[in-house]
């Protein structure tokens, strides 16, 4: 089981992009998300890249969440492109959906209405699908980061004050 930092906030980032996976595009979305997480007192314990595709996303998420208690953010593959299948891959592995978080992320920007991203839990991990654009990914993550620590405490079975 991955250890959390002193604040109890561990995170992993999965970039979903054929171009980044092929080495022909820079992972600007992953970099922007990592910078936000570090500023927000999260310890980023893993970054991974996978090509687009539902099966590739599902396999990567399953591996990243195994034995991990924390936040897993995906960036990319949430739009209408023919290979944008991050939500479909995510839905094949989550135990439970967290629709309120996905909806909150969609509300931060008018372009959010075009996002098909989902949120849900897998074991003790909280998975959030973010857009591939650095600005969109950061805006969406910022819209829910205030409630993520509470969600992670609930997932871990830790006592919480309601």
- The secondary structure of 129-155 as a DSSP string is EE-SSHHHHHHHHHHHTTTHHHHHHHH
Q: Is the pLDDT of residue 107 over 90?
A: yes
Tens of pLDDT, residues 4-53:
444 569 999 999 999 999 999 999 999 999 999 999 999 999 999 999 99
Q: Is 161 part of a structural domain of the chain?
A: no
Confidence of residue 159 (pLDDT cuts 50, 70, 90): low
Instruction: Give residue for tokens 């949430």.
Output: 78
CA dist 64 and 3 (Å) reads 14
Q: Is 142 part of a structural domain of the chain?
A: yes
Q: Is 2 part of a structural domain of the chain?
A: no
Provide the β-strand partners of residue 129: 74
Q: Is the pLDDT of residue 124 over 60?
A: yes
Q: Is the pLDDT of residue 153 over 50?
A: yes
Tens of pLDDT, residues 52-84:
999 999 999 999 999 999 999 999 999 999 999
The DSSP annotation for 41-93 comes to T-EEEEEEEE-SSHHHHHHHHHHHHTT--EEEEEES--SSSTT--HHHHHHHH
Q: Is 86 part of a structural domain of the chain?
A: yes
Q: Is 1 part of a structural domain of the chain?
A: no
Cα–Cα distances in Å, from 87 out to 6, 10, 29, 118, 119? 32, 22, 17, 6, 9
Q: Is 162 part of a structural domain of the chain?
A: no
Structural domain for 92, as ranges? 10-156
CA dist 99 and 86 (Å) reads 16
Domains identified in the chain, total number: 1
Query: Domain with 20 in it: what CATH number?
Result: 3.40.980.10
Tens of pLDDT, residues 84-102:
999 999 999 999 999 999 9
Q: Is 4 part of a structural domain of the chain?
A: no
């Amino acid at each position: 089981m991955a250890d959390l930092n002193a604040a109890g906030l561990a995170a992993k980032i999965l970039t979903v992009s054929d171009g980044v996976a092929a080495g022909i595009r820079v992972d600007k979305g992953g970099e922007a998300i990592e910078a936000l997480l570090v500023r927000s007192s999260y310890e980023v314990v893993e970054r991974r890249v996978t090509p687009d595709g539902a099966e590739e996303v599902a396999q990567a998420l399953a591996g990243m969440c195994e034995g991990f208690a924390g936040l897993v953010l995906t960036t990319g593959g949430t739009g209408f492109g023919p290979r944008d299948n991050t939500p479909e891959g995510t839905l094949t592995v989550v135990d439970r959906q967290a629709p309120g978080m996905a909806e909150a992320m969609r509300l931060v920007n008018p372009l959010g209405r075009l996002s098909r991203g989902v949120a849900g839990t897998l074991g003790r991990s909280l998975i959030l699908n973010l857009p591939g654009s650095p600005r969109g990914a950061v805006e969406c993550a910022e819209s829910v980061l205030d409630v993520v620590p509470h969600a992670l405490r609930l997932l871990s079975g830790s006592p919480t004050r309601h």
